[in-house]
Amino acid sequence: MSQRINPIPALATDEEERAFWKNRDSNEYLDWSKAAQTVLLNLKPSSEINSAFPYGAVISQPDLITP
């Protein structure tokens, strides 16, 4: 069965993007069955949490945080 994927609109600012995703389910816009794991080799540890990455996700998956 094929799922209908909606196009993601062009959003001009981070604020618009946050507002857009706040009340939407990404499953309606992305085909997660085609997602691939990525390794980001040049990341440096930080004590800050990016507002685009939900705080609850960090707490529920502590193995994502490296000292």
Q: If DSSP states are collapsed to H, E and C, what string results for 33-52? A: HHCCCCCCCCCCCCCCCCCC
Q: Supply the pLDDT for residue 50.
A: 59
pLDDT at 32: 86
Q: Is the pLDDT of residue 54 over 70?
A: no
What is the rounded average pLDDT of the residues 13-37? Answer: 89
| Closest residue by Cα to residue 18 from 55, 56, 51 | 51
Give this prediction's pTM.
Answer: 0.49
- Residue 12's pLDDT band, with cuts at 50, 70 and 90, is very high
